[in-house]
C-alpha cells in the first residue's frame, strides 16, 4: 500500500476515492510546524538557523502519518501546488526523517492542479522530487517576515505604545491606504459646469450632444467655472441653430480579458458580488477541493492561488468545443488565444483559474451549489469561456455639431456605439461585462446625416465639482499591490485581514479607512524606517525571493544582505527619545492631529487654558492629544478627534448634557486618553464614569449620564444576610456585589433595572454552581468531542460571549459563523493549541486526570499560530 499526504481532509476523502484501496490518503490540516512566537526562533548569528515547533494537534497527525509510513511502500507528498504547499511537504518529510521513519521508503512529490480523477491519476503517473529552490524561497520569506515582525514590533511597543505590530508586506499595504487618505485630505474641490444640448433630427429622433468648444476655443473640463458663465453660454445656445458638420462611424474590435488569476478573481468578486477577499478564497477553496455532484465528488475549478493567465492545451481544446456547442462556430476564433500577465514580478508558474470541465455549465451546476458558490463558479466559468471567444465588433459613431448664434459659434459632440457582433460578450448574457465601457460611448445614436440641421429641444447646464481620489476597496488595493509587485497571490487576503484585526483600518461600505492607530504607525515607519516601507524596496525584495524559487539566488545570501542593513538601522533607533518621535509625528500628522479651527485660531493652542500647546502624548493604551501645561491643565482628547471649539460644547470641547438636579453641577460628556466618559463638576474631586462597551457617545443624554454617575447602585438588603446588594460596572463587565462576593450580570442594562428578587436569585445560582470569589462557573457542556492527546475531555460550551471549546483551563472561542454542534475534535484541538500559544498558557489537562509521564515537545512549546493553516 502507498501513502498519500494532502492538506485538507475534504481533499483526502475525494482523492482516496479516485486512487482506490491500494492507497491510504491522510491530511496534514495545513502546516504541521511553525516558528514559535518568541525571540530566538530565527538566529541570524547562527547562519539563520530556524527553530520549528510542533503543536499538540499536529503532533497527533504526524504520529498517525509516521505509523502509516511504516506500512507503506511509497510516500507521495501531494500538498497544494504552490510555495506553501511545497513547504508543507518539506516539513512533513523533515519530521519523518527526524523520527527515522523513512528508512528505505521511496518519497515522491505530486501536485494536483485540479481535483478531478484524470488530473489526480495523471499527477500520480508523473511524480517528481521536492522542489528545493521553492522550499528555500519559503524559508527566506518566513525568516524575513519573522525578523521584521519580531525586530520592528518591539521598537513600536517601546516608542509608540498602543501600536500592535509591523510586518514586511503588511506595513507597506497600510502605507498605501494611509497615503491615499492623506491625498484625500489635501484635495481641494473645484466647481465646474457641463453643458449639453438635447437635439432632434428631422425625423424627430432625440439625442444628446455635449459642448466641446466655444468661439473657436477648445473647452477643458474646468473652463466653465461658475453659474454666471454657464448661464451666459446656455442663453447663447438657446438662440442658436444647429447643424451636423460630420458623422464618422468607425468599427472597433474589443478583445476578451484573460481568465482569472487570484488577484483579478478577488477584484471581480468584490466589485460584482460584494465578496471580501477572504470570503472569495474560502468559496474558491471549496470549489477546488470538491463538490458532490450527483454522487460523484469532483473539484469544479483549478487551483485558486496563481498569477498565471494561461490555460493548459487540453483545457483550451475543451473550451473551444464548449464554445461551438453553446454559442456556435461563428463565436470561435481560428486559433486559441494566448495571454501573458502584465503584473510586476508575475511568475505564471500555474494555470489561470478555470473550470475543470467546461461542459459543467453554471446552469447545470447550480442545483449542487449554495448561492455564493453558484455565483462565484458562474463568474469563473464565464470569464474562462469568454477568454477563448471571438472579439466583439462595435461600431463607434462620433457626430460633430456646430451651433451658430449671430457672430458666436460653439461646437458640440455626440458619441454612441452599436454592437454589430457580440463575440465574447455573448458569454455574459444580460451582463455583457460592461465594466470597461464608457457610459457615453455605450449609448445608441439615431440616424444622423451629415449637413442636416437639428432642432434644439433643451439646453442643460449642470453643476459638478472635482472629486478626490477614492479610498481603496479591498479589490483596488489588491490591484495596486499587484501592480507594484508587493505580496503574492497567497498573501493578499491574509494581509488585509491582519490590517483589520489590528484595528489599523476599518471597512465601511467596502472602502478601507485608516484608523488613527494605523496613521500613527505609518507616520512612525516613514520617519524612522522609511526604506523598509518604500514600494520599490519591497517589490525588489519580492523579486529576489522569486529568483530564489527559480534557483538563481542563494536564500541565505539574500537574508544576510537584508539583515546587515536592517539590524544596524534598528540599533540606531535605540537611543531615539520618545520626545523626538512625538515631535516628528506632530509635524507629519499635523492636519490630522491639529485640524484647522473655525475661528482661524492656532490649531495647537489648548482650548481649555489658552496658554498651553497641544501635542501628541503616549499612554498605556496608545496615543492621545494633551496640553503642555499638564498637570495644571488636564485637557486631553483622543487622537484623531477634532479640536474643541467655543459654542454649544463649551470652551473645553466638552459636550454639556445639563445639570445635576441635586447638586446643580454641570454634567459633561468628554473624551480622554482611555476613551469617552461623563463627568459631574470640575477639579480633582469631580465624579467620572466611563461609557460602557457598546454605548456610543452620540447616544448619551443627561438621563444616561446621571445613571452612570450614580453607580454603584444599591438594590436592597439580602433577606438572609441582611447585607446590601449593589450593582455596578467593573473592569470585567456588569456585576452584583454582596458580602464581598461578585456575580456577573448578563448585560449593562441589567445594572440599572435588576430588582431585589432577581438579584437574590442570581447570587443563589452563583453559589449553587460552586463558584467562589469573583469567578464565573463554567457553563454545562453542549457536546463532548473526545479525549485530548494528553488526556482529559474536550468539550463544546456556550458562554457569555458565544460558543467555545474547553480543555482544562483553556477556553477557545469558535470562529464566527461556526456551528458549535458541527465542530470536530481535530478542529477543537487546533483552536485550543492556538489559544494556549497566544496566551502564553500551556494547555493543561484537568487536574482530576493524572499527567502522562512524558509530554510531547509541542505541549511544552506552543507556537504563535498552532497548526497554522496556509495563508490565503
pLDDT tens for residues 566-603? 888 888 887 778 888 888 888 888 888 888 777 778 88
Active-site position among 18, 138, 288, 303: 303
pLDDT tens for residues 240-287? 999 999 999 999 999 999 999 998 999 999 888 988 888 899 999 999
pLDDT tens for residues 782-833? 777 877 777 778 888 877 666 788 888 788 888 876 777 778 887 888 888 8
Output the nine-digit C-alpha cell for 53. Answer: 515547533
Output the nine-digit C-alpha cell for 103. Answer: 528508512
pTM of the model: 0.68
**Rounded CA separation 536/205 (Å):** 55
Could you give the residue range(s) of every CATH 2.70.20.10 domain in the chain? Answer: 191-255+392-465
Mean pLDDT, residues 192-216 taken together: 94
**Rounded CA separation 615/321 (Å):** 69
- Residues 6 or more apart whose CB falls under 8 angstroms from that of 804 comprise 796, 797, 798, 811, 812, 813, 814
Lowest mean pLDDT among 517-526, 776-785, 854-863: 854-863
Could you give the residue range(s) of every CATH 3.40.50.140 domain in the chain? Answer: 2-139
pLDDT tens for residues 275-322? 888 889 999 999 998 888 887 888 999 999 888 899 999 999 999 999
% of residues, the chain, pLDDT over 90 = 39
- Half-sphere exposure in the Cβ direction for 121 (13 Å, CA): 7
- Whether residue 517 contacts residue 109, with contact meaning beta carbons closer than 8 Å, is answered with no
Range picked from 145-154, 350-359, 570-579 for highest mean pLDDT: 350-359
Query: Does residue 435 have a pLDDT over 50?
Result: no
What is the phi/psi pair of residue 576, to 5°? -65, 125
Residue with cell 510531547: 856
Query: Which 8-state DSSP code applies to residue 314?
Result: H
What pLDDT was estimated at residue 96? Answer: 93
Residue 246 DSSP SS3: strand
Burial 497-516 (b: 16+ CB within 10 A, else e): bbbbebebbeeeeebbebbb
The dotted CATH code for 191-255+392-465 is: 2.70.20.10
What pLDDT was estimated at residue 180? Answer: 93
Query: Does residue 860 have a pLDDT over 50?
Result: no
Question: What CATH architecture does domain 2-139 belong to?
Answer: 3-Layer(aba) Sandwich (3.40)
- Whether residue 12 contacts residue 289, with contact meaning beta carbons closer than 8 Å, is answered with no
Lowest mean pLDDT among 211-225, 431-445, 541-555, 656-670: 431-445
Instruction: Say which CATH class 262-386 falls into.
Output: mainly alpha
Output the nine-digit C-alpha cell for 352. Answer: 489561470
What pLDDT was estimated at residue 686? Answer: 84
Mean pLDDT, residues 652-658 taken together: 70
Residue 138 known to be catalytic: no
What pLDDT was estimated at residue 845? Answer: 44
**Rounded CA separation 465/468 (Å):** 10
Nearest-CA neighbor of 40 among 122, 166, 150, 194?
150
Query: Does residue 778 have a pLDDT over 70?
Result: no
pLDDT tier at 343, thresholds 50, 70, 90 = low
% of residues, the chain, pLDDT over 70 = 88
**Rounded CA separation 226/240 (Å):** 22
Helix H or strand E encompassing 752:
helix 748-753
**Rounded CA separation 601/74 (Å):** 79
Residue with cell 519580531: 150
What mean pLDDT value characterizes the chain? Answer: 84
Nearest-CA neighbor of 623 among 639, 636, 606?
639
What is the phi/psi pair of residue 612, to 5°? -85, 160
Q: Within its chain, how far is the Cα of 293 from the centroid?
A: 32
The dotted CATH code for 140-187+470-578 is: 1.10.460.10
What pLDDT was estimated at residue 436? Answer: 43
Output the nine-digit C-alpha cell for 178. Answer: 494611509
Query: Does residue 835 have a pLDDT over 90?
Result: no
- Whether residue 727 contacts residue 759, with contact meaning beta carbons closer than 8 Å, is answered with yes
**Rounded CA separation 448/246 (Å):** 9
Nearest-CA neighbor of 137 among 546, 561, 563, 552?
546
Range picked from 4-8, 595-599, 638-642 for highest mean pLDDT: 4-8
**Rounded CA separation 519/686 (Å):** 34
What pLDDT was estimated at residue 640? Answer: 61
**Rounded CA separation 826/789 (Å):** 10
Helix H or strand E encompassing 735:
strand 733-738
pLDDT tens for residues 44-67? 999 999 999 988 888 888 999 999
**Rounded CA separation 114/552 (Å):** 29
Neighbours of 292 (CB within 10 A): 10
CA–CA distance from 138 to each of 106, 511, 544, 631, 730 (Å)? 24, 32, 12, 53, 47
Residue with cell 455564493: 372
What pLDDT was estimated at residue 774? Answer: 41
349 Ramachandran zone, left/alpha/beta (phi>0; psi -120 to 50) = alpha
Query: Does residue 551 have a pLDDT over 50?
Result: yes
What pLDDT was estimated at residue 347? Answer: 53
What pLDDT was estimated at residue 318? Answer: 93
pLDDT tier at 868, thresholds 50, 70, 90 = very low
Amino acid at each position: 500500500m502507498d501513502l498519500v499526504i494532502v492538506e485538507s481532509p475534504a481533499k483526502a476523502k475525494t482523492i482516496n476515492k479516485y486512487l482506490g484501496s491500494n492507497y491510504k490518503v491522510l491530511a496534514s490540516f495545513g502546516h504541521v510546524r511553525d516558528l514559535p512566537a518568541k525571540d530566538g526562533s530565527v538566529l541570524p548569528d547562527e547562519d539563520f538557523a530556524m527553530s520549528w515547533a510542533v503543536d499538540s494537534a499536529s503532533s497527533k497527525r504526524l504520529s498517525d502519518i509516521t505509523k502509516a509510513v511504516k506500512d507503506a511502500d511509497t510516500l507521495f507528498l501531494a500538498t497544494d501546488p504552490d510555495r506553501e504547499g511545497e513547504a508543507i511537504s518539506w516539513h512533513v518529510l523533515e519530521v519523518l526523517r527526524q523520527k527515522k521513519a523513512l528508512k528505505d521508503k521511496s518519497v515522491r512529490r505530486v501536485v494536483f492542479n485540479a481535483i478531478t480523477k484524470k488530473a489526480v491519476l495523471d499527477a500520480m503517473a508523473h511524480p517528481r522530487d521536492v522542489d528545493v529552490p521553492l522550499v528555500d524561497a519559503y524559508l527566506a520569506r518566513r525568516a524575513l517576515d519573522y525578523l521584521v515582525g519580531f525586530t520592528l514590533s518591539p521598537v513600536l511597543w517601546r516608542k509608540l505604545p498602543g501600536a500592535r505590530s509591523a510586518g514586511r508586506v503588511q506595513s507597506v499595504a497600510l502605507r498605501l491606504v494611509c497615503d491615499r487618505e492623506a491625498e484625500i485630505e489635501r484635495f481641494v474641490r473645484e466647481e465646474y459646469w457641463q453643458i449639453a444640448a438635447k437635439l432632434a433630427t428631422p425625423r424627430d429622433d432625440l439625442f444628446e450632444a455635449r459642448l466641446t468648444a466655444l468661439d473657436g476655443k477648445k473647452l477643458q473640463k474646468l473652463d466653465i467655472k461658475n453659474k454666471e458663465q454657464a448661464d451666459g453660454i446656455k442663453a447663447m445656445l438657446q438662440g442658436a441653430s444647429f447643424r451636423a458638420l460630420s458623422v464618422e462611424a468607425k468599427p472597433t474590435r474589443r478583445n476578451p480579458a484573460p481568465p482569472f488569476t487570484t488577484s483579478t478573481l478577488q477584484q471581480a468578486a468584490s466589485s460584482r458580488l460584494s465578496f471580501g477577499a477572504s470570503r472569495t478564497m474560502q468559496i474558491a477553496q471549496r470549489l477546488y477541493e470538491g463538490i458532490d455532484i450527483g454522487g460523484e465528488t469532483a473539484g469544479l475549478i483549478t487551483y485558486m492561488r496563481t498569477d498565471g493567465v494561461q490555460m493548459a492545451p487540453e483545457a483550451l481544446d475543451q473550451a473551444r468545443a464548449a464554445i461551438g456547442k453553446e454559442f456556435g462556430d461563428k463565436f470561435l476564433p481560428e486559433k486559441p488565444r494566448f495571454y501573458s500577465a502584465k503584473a510586476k514580478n508575475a511568475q505564471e508558474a500555474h494555470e489561470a483559474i478555470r473550470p475543470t470541465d467546461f461542459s459543467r455549465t453554471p446552469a447545470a451546476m447550480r442545483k449542487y451549489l449554495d448561492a455564493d458558490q453558484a455565483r462565484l463558479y458562474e463568474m469563473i466559468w464565464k470569464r474562462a469561456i469568454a477568454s477563448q471567444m471571438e472579439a466583439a465588433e462595435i461600431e463607434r459613431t462620433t457626430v460633430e455639431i456646430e451651433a451658430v448664434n449671430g457672430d458666436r459659434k460653439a461646437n458640440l459632440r455626440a458619441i454612441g456605439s452599436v454592437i454589430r457582433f457580440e463575440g465574447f460578450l455573448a458569454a455574459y448574457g444580460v451582463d455583457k461585462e460592461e465594466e470597461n465601457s464608457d457610459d457615453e460611448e455605450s449609448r445608441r445614436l439615431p440616424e444622423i446625416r451629415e449637413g442636416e440641421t437639428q432642432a434644439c429641444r433643451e439646453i442643460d447646464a449642470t453643476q459638478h465639482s472635482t472629486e478626490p481620489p477614492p479610498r481603496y476597496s479591498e479589490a483596488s488595493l489588491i490591484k495596486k499591490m499587484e501592480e507594484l509587485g508587493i505580496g503574492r497571490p497567497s498573501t493578499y487576503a491574509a494581509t488585509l485581514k491582519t490590517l483589520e484585526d489590528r484595528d489599523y483600518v476599518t471597512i465601511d461600505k467596502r472602502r478601507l479607512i485608516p484608523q488613527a492607530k494605523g496613521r500613527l504607525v505609518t507616520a512612525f515607519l516613514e520617519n524612522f524606517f522609511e526604506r523598509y516601507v518604500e514600494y520599490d524596496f519591497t517589490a525588489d525584495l519580492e523579486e529576489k525571493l522569486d529568483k530564489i524559487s527559480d534557483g538563481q539566488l542563494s536564500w541565505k545570501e539574500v537574508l544576510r544582505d537584508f539583515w546587515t542593513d536592517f539590524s544596524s538601522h534598528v540599533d540606531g533607533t535605540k537611543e531615539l527619545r520618545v520626545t523626538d518621535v512625538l515631535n516628528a509625528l506632530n509635524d507629519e500628522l499635523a492636519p490630522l492631529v491639529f485640524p484647522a479651527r473655525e475661528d482661524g485660531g492656532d490649531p495647537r493652542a489648548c482650548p481649555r487654558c489658552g496658554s498651553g500647546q497641544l501635542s501628541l502624548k503616549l499612554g498605556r493604551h496608545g496615543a492621545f492629544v494633551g496640553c503642555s501645561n499638564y498637570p495644571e491643565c488636564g485637557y486631553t482628547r483622543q487622537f484623531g478627534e477634532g479640536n474643541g471649539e467655543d459654542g454649544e460644547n463649551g470652551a473645553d470641547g466638552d459636550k454639556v448634557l445639563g445639570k445635576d438636579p441635586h447638586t446643580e453641577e454641570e454634567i459633561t460628556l468628554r473624551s480622554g486618553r482611555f476613551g469617552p466618559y461623563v463627568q459631574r463638576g470640575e477639579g480633582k474631586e469631580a465624579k467620572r464614569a466611563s461609557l460602557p462597551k457598546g454605548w456610543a457617545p452620540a447616544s448619551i443624554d443627561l438621563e444616561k449620564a446621571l445613571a452612570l454617575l450614580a453607580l454603584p447602585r444599591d438594590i436592597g438588603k439580602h433577606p438572609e444576610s441582611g447585607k446590601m446588594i449593589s450593582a455596578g460596572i467593573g473592569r470585567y463587565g456588569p456585576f452584583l456585589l454582596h458580602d464581598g462576593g461578585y456575580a456577573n450580570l448578563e448585560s449593562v442594562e441589567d445594572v440599572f433595572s435588576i430588582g431585589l428578587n432577581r438579584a437574590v436569585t442570581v447570587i443563589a445560582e452563583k453559589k449553587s454552581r460552586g463558584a467562589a470569589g469573583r469567578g464565573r462557573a463554567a457553563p454545562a457542556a453542549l457536546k463532548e468531542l473526545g479525549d485530548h492527546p494528553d488526556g482529559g475531555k474536550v468539550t463544546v460550551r456556550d458562554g457569555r460571549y458565544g460558543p467555545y471549546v474547553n480543555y482544562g483551563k483553556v477556553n477557545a472561542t469558535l470562529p464566527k459563523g461556526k456551528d458549535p454542534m458541527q465542530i470536530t475534535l481535530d478542529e477543537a484541538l487546533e483552536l485550543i493549541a492556538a489559544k494556549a500559544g497566544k496566551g502564553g498558557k500551556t494547555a493543561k489537562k484537568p487536574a482530576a486526570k493524572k499527567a502522562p509521564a512524558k509530554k510531547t515537545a509541542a505541549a511544552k512549546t506552543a507556537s504563535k499560530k498552532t497548526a497554522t493553516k496556509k495563508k490565503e
